Chains A and B, each alone.
Chain A
């Protein structure tokens, strides 16, 4: 059974990796943005799904990664790779500086403290001359969608392997213990502050790398698009829809929702955003543990599964 899964996943991966050689330009571009969104969902999964700290401000890391690449390439004329590293450094510094105070907060306090982060960072960045203030930065163009596609895929694989490692390492068990019972975890000897900040930083690193790739691909960056709040919406919804706290759930969620939203927005423009909102409302009511749980339990309970979820939580 396990071997079968492994073969299936490898086959899917090969098919995905070969896509730029048989897909059209439109498909490749859709692929890049979907893969990057999947990275964001997987990054959120580390802090939101495994550690149980619902961050509504992860797009800040995305913006930092994007600005890291843009500043390095435009202002300092350094190569892309250095920019990515610079973005990661920015994200890690931010995760530690802000994470240490903010991660002391629990549940909804933490969620709201992160909610306004993106707006605040956009306001700060638009006052920094090095970051091009309100006007933004224009990066040197590189017309190589295949490269961007493979980079994004590689990043997604790396993020997913990291999450897989979480499910079988002491660090990952510590995070799950914090999610289930933080006081209990502390009593058992988990350094909760350190673990939470590390999880926040790890989540930030992947998000920042995705932001860096996106900035170089789009070749333009301004505070509004870098700290785009709707990205928070998407990454959380994709992770929750697929199944937070599972290895493949967020990736599946990102692929499924991106595909549906792409089809919808080609039919009726501007309906895609509405779609995400409706999905999250329906998902919380009908399937709060994500697709992964639906697949597992649908076989035994059938359609009653959804009614049982409502019954369990209604007043």
Chain B
């Protein structure tokens, strides 16, 4: 029983992090209709940025998150404005391919710049933990989870309440009508992609504190983010949070009861199952 409780807690903590990873992918997909296959590669870049800030400048990974997010926002804005805007109206397959190419480029650049070695962001409190009865919670994971929740809820409020958030939602519903109300699509698309990549960067920073990073983690993270976005639907960041928690718990259970190497197999199985049973997502109305 204690073991099960511990596994469930681990799953929930992991799930919060997964939710932040998927948040940016779901936003970009829902608004721009681009499934960004380079999303995981941007998460990887965010993780390396955090790692460098921590290792060379001594900036705490959690305090450094805003820096990582802002830098990655700039990268995302530039990529959309300079590159993806050129192919936005092409068939779906072309946008898939170009982001696939981006993923390859980013992975190899990361390999050239950072080498293929595994890295971890190890702040002094990495080993610290809090105990609730028999359940032990590592402090870093708990903090990552807390920030993940804050980001998800913040994203929800941002989309509902701010002018930019409303413009983004309006564009997602009807680009032509949004244009008539004064939305400049090139800028707005770049802003949306920038926010998505900024979130990916923050997710990468959090990922680096709880797991190992190397240049090749991107593809798996993209697939997981996609699975979560599918489970949660694209309408609502809170749906993505639920999707993340579901995947996190399933993965923790699989790793504990089936075997460590089967974690990714389980999340892929969930992905295919959800796609087949309900392509519009468990919670979502549109996808």
CB-CB under 8 A for A270 and B88, given A119-B264, A280-B98, A315-B185: no
Interface residue? B160 (CB, 8 A): no
Q: Please indicate which of the listed interface residues A127, A236, A284 has the most CB atoms of chain B within 10 Å of its own CB.
A: A284
Contact B89 A315 (CB under 8 A): yes
From B94, B100, B223, B261, A233 is in contact (CB under 8 Å) with B100
Contact B108 A105 (CB under 8 A): no
Contact A288 B94 (CB under 8 A): yes
Distance in Å: Cβ of A239 to nearest Cβ of chain B: 11
The residue in chain A whose Cβ has the minimal distance to the Cβ of B34 is: A108
CB-CB under 8 A from B279, the residues of chain A are 105, 109
Distance in Å: Cβ of A96 to nearest Cβ of chain B: 15
Which chain A residues have a beta carbon within 8 Å of chain B's beta carbons? 52, 54, 56, 101-102, 104-105, 107-109, 111-113, 115-117, 119-120, 123-124, 126-127, 229, 233, 236-237, 240, 270-271, 273-274, 276-281, 284-285, 288, 310, 312-315
Interface residue? B90 (CB, 8 A): yes
The residue in chain A whose Cβ has the minimal distance to the Cβ of B185 is: A315
Distance in Å: Cβ of B84 to nearest Cβ of chain A: 9
CB-CB under 8 A for A277 and B261, given A112-B223, A240-B97: no
The residue in chain B whose Cβ has the minimal distance to the Cβ of A311 is: B86
In the bound complex, how far is the Cα of B264 from the Cα of A111, in angstroms? 18
Contact B102 A123 (CB under 8 A): no
From B83, B96, B268, A120 is in contact (CB under 8 Å) with B268
The residue in chain B whose Cβ has the minimal distance to the Cβ of A105 is: B275
From A102, A237, A273, B108 is in contact (CB under 8 Å) with A273
CB-CB under 8 A from A237, the residues of chain B are 101
Kindly supply a per-residue 1/0 record for chain B positions 109-124, scoring 1 wherever the CB is within 8 Å of any chain A CB and 0 otherwise.
1011000000000000
Interface residue? B87 (CB, 8 A): yes
CB-CB under 8 A from A109, the residues of chain B are 275, 279
CB-CB under 8 A from B220, the residues of chain A are 116, 119
CB-CB under 8 A from A310, the residues of chain B are 86
The residue in chain B whose Cβ has the minimal distance to the Cβ of A279 is: B101
CB-CB under 8 A for A115 and B88, given A123-B261, A281-B105, A315-B189: no
Distance in Å: Cβ of A28 to nearest Cβ of chain B: 28
Contact A236 B87 (CB under 8 A): no
CB-CB under 8 A for A116 and B268, given A127-B259, A284-B94: yes
CB-CB under 8 A from B98, the residues of chain A are 280-281, 284-285
Interface residue? B271 (CB, 8 A): yes
From A102, A108, A119, A277, B102 is in contact (CB under 8 Å) with A277
In the bound complex, how far is the Cα of B108 from the Cα of A270, in angstroms? 8
In the bound complex, how far is the Cα of B185 from the Cα of A152, in angstroms? 50
In the bound complex, how far is the Cα of B259 from the Cα of A66, in angstroms? 25
